[in-house]
Chains A and B, each alone.
Chain A
């Protein structure tokens, strides 16, 4: 019973699987290097889809539209808005990494999951209310 290898033990690097082509050997922090490229693309695609869908028709666009209409120079407005959005997503990513350092992963995942569910419910409620507006006088929101 005791000679069963512990699956949690860090396994030695197998000689059959050579080093990844073109990747520096300094990236030893990730044990699961097999699906590295796949999950990288998946993370990119997931983030893109979620943010893009959530952002369409949002207040950022309203602000950009207003500025573009007032100034008549949409190119400059677009550059400024893009820089601001890139900055804000950088702030978000850095905040997330900081939280991942100070919180235990399980607790962080639970909190993040609850936050995402809350955001989803709120976003869905707004979309539904816009699609089918309630009559006035209802004590909602």
Chain B
């Protein structure tokens, strides 16, 4: 019974996560960063912590944490990272070292 619950949770979450925006972001960061291990650790920590918060807070998470505001902040982060990548890939050369992500 416990194994069945574990397996069903694993399958549900894994399938829900495939092709998600978070995984696309991980692909993007991993493809453009020379530190795949750091990217893997950071994303795993973030995902586990977010799911810990979700499991611990129960249904009241959205009343405790302003999730929409946080997602707005995340979208700004996406925009900043994306614009930096586009600028870095552009034809501008000799303007100093490329910034690390």
The interface residues of chain A, by DSSP majority, are classed as: helix
* A71 close to B5 (CB less than 8 A): yes
For B44, give its contact among A89, A106, A107, A126 (CB under 8 Å): A89
* A88 close to B79 (CB less than 8 A): no
Interface size class for chain A?
35 or more
Q: Which residues of B contact A85 (CB under 8 A)?
A: 13, 17, 44, 47-48, 51
* Known interface pairs A47-B46, A113-B89, A128-B72; A61-B61 also in contact (CB < 8 Å): yes
Q: Which residues of B contact A48 (CB under 8 A)?
A: 42-43, 45-46
Please measure, in the bound complex, the distance between the C-alpha atom of A109 and the C-alpha atom of B44, giving whole angstroms: 23
For B38, give its contact among A41, A117, A119 (CB under 8 Å): A41
Minimum CB–CB distance for A16 against chain B, Å: 21
* Known interface pairs A42-B101, A43-B39, A84-B13; A108-B72 also in contact (CB < 8 Å): no
Minimum CB–CB distance for B64 against chain A, Å: 11
Interface size class for chain B?
35 or more
* B40 close to A64 (CB less than 8 A): no
List B residues 35-59 near A (Cβ within 8 Å): 35-36, 38-56, 58-59
Please measure, in the bound complex, the distance between the C-alpha atom of A79 and the C-alpha atom of B61, giving whole angstroms: 19
* A57 close to B26 (CB less than 8 A): no
Which of A53, A63, A77 is packed against the most chain B CB atoms within 10 Å? A53
Which of B47, B56, B70 is packed against the most chain A CB atoms within 10 Å? B47
* A56 close to B50 (CB less than 8 A): yes
List A residues 107-125 near B (Cβ within 8 Å): 107-110, 112-124
Given contacts A48-B46, A56-B50, A107-B89, 17 further A-B contacts (CB under 8 A): A39-B100, A47-B38, A48-B43, A49-B46, A51-B47, A60-B22, A63-B16, A80-B6, A86-B48, A89-B43, A92-B43, A93-B26, A93-B27, A95-B27, A109-B85, A112-B32, A119-B75
Instruction: Show the binding face of B for A, using Cβ within 8 Å.
Output: 2, 5-14, 16-18, 20-36, 38-56, 58-59, 61-62, 65, 67-79, 81-90, 100-101
